[in-house]
């Protein structure tokens, strides 16, 4: 019995299957990571939270400003983006650290001994999941503008100058933040330190740097012309942080004192924030033990 099974198993590759069908090909690893991502309840919670937060905050902001005389509903479009990037960030960190915090990485890397396809597949799966979430979140933000726009009889014109860029930029920003979380998570491998680093970089540092401008300017002094050098330094640093670069993606704003990167420059800065930790994670995966 046993001998027959063993013999047939040994015979199978040459007899019935093409030679390369048995290994962990990249599409198969991607499929495995997609299953790993979508079979966790926390992923769907993160996706739902992103959409809900985006819709509710945009709705509240548009409602609050709809009483202004010069109300422009599209002006409130990005008001939910600061908070709705938190669930994708957490999702990315959890995808990057999940294998290591549960011990499932042993199985994963036995199945894929070359290791790097796992990281590539996690990136692809997270990007796809986050992109779908981001599209839904941006759609929710647009829908949330409708009640307040209708109350003032203003038609929403999404083709107007700058709006397509804002819509695409918001979608890309939410996707990129998830990938940033993944990159930090894959590099650090432990969820609490990785989450601390990600939260610090994306959410807390911009607020701390705002304090710097606060300290350098007198809150009660009248505004004078020109940009103080301290403000210029702070704004330059902020523009090169993930959140500042992401803000450049969503709107064509000129931040005083900061180099004018434009949406493409902002996108490149954000891409570098993803690529560098991801490359470091790949290097760690390739040259060090998986523990």
Partner 1 sequence: MGGVPATATARRARPARDPRPRGVTLGRVVASEADKLTSLRSTGWLALATVAAAAATAWGLGMFARPEPGASGAPIAVAGAVLSQLGFLVLGARTGADEYRSGTARSTFAAVPRRLPVLAGQALVTAAAAPVVAVTALGAAVAATAGLRAAAGLALDVTDPETARLLAGFVLHQTGVALVGLGLGALVRRPDAALVAGVLALVVLDHLLATNPGRVADTARALLPGAGARVLLDDGRLDALAAGSLGPHPGPWSGYLVLAAWAAALLAAAAYRLRRGDVT
Residues at the contact surface with partner 1, assessed by CB under 8 A: 61, 64, 79, 82-83, 86, 90, 93-94, 191-192, 195-196, 199-200, 203-205, 207-208, 210-220, 230, 233-234
Residue 240 three-state SS: coil
Work out how close the CB of 14 gets to partner 1 at its nearest, in angstroms, rounded to a whole number: 47
CA angle 11, 14, 16 (to 5 degrees): 85
Work out how close the CB of 189 gets to partner 1 at its nearest, in angstroms, rounded to a whole number: 13
Work out how close the CB of 94 gets to partner 1 at its nearest, in angstroms, rounded to a whole number: 8
The answer to whether 191 touches 94, Cβ cutoff 8 Å, is yes
Tokens standing for 134?
A: 């981001």
d(CA 29, CA 31): 5
Work out how close the CB of 200 gets to partner 1 at its nearest, in angstroms, rounded to a whole number: 6
Which residue, 26 or 200, has its beta carbon nearer to partner 1?
A: 200
Which residue, 62 or 282, has its beta carbon nearer to partner 1?
A: 62
Which residue, 212 or 268, has its beta carbon nearer to partner 1?
A: 212
Tokens standing for 225?
A: 């012309």
Which residue, 219 or 226, has its beta carbon nearer to partner 1?
A: 219
d(CA 145, CA 147): 6
d(CA 100, CA 138): 32
- Length of the chain, please? 291
Helices 163-188 + 86-102 axis angle, to 10: 20
Tokens standing for 57?
A: 């905050």
Work out how close the CB of 61 gets to partner 1 at its nearest, in angstroms, rounded to a whole number: 7
**258: which DSSP letter?**
S
d(CA 235, CA 228): 11
Which residue, 98 or 263, has its beta carbon nearer to partner 1?
A: 98
Work out how close the CB of 242 gets to partner 1 at its nearest, in angstroms, rounded to a whole number: 14
Which residue, 32 or 187, has its beta carbon nearer to partner 1?
A: 187
């Amino acid at each position: 019995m046993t001998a027959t099974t063993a013999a047939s198993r040994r015979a199978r590759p040459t007899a019935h299957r093409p030679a390369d069908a048995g290994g962990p090909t990249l599409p198969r690893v991607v499929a495995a990571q997609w299953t790993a991502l979508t079979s966790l309840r926390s992923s769907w919670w993160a996706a739902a939270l992103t959409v809900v937060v985006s819709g509710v905050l945009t709705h509240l902001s548009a409602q609050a400003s709809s009483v202004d005389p010069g109300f422009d509903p599209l002006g409130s479009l990005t008001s939910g983006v600061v908070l709705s990037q938190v669930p994708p960030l957490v999702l990315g960190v959890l995808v990057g650290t999940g294998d290591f915090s549960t011990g499932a990485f042993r199985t994963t890397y036995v199945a894929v001994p070359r290791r790097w396809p796992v990281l590539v597949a996690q990136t692809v799966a997270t990007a796809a999941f986050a992109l779908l979430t981001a599209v839904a979140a941006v759609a929710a933000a647009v829908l949330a503008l409708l009640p307040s726009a209708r109350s003032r009889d203003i038609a929403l014109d999404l083709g107007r100058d700058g709006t397509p860029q804002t819509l695409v930029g918001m979608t890309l920003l939410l996707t990129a933040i998830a990938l940033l979380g993944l990159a930090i998570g894959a590099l650090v491998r432990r969820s609490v330190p990785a989450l601390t680093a990600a939260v610090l970089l994306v959410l807390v540092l911009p607020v701390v740097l705002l304090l710097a401008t606060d300290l350098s300017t007198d809150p009660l002094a009248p505004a004078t012309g020109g940009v103080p050098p301290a403000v210029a330094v702070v704004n330059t640093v902020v523009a090169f942080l993930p959140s500042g670069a992401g803000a450049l993606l969503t709107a064509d704003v000129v931040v005083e004192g900061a180099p004018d990167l434009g949406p493409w420059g902002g996108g490149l800065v954000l891409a570098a924030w993803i690529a560098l930790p991801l490359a470091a994670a790949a290097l760690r995966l390739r040259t060090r033990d998986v523990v």
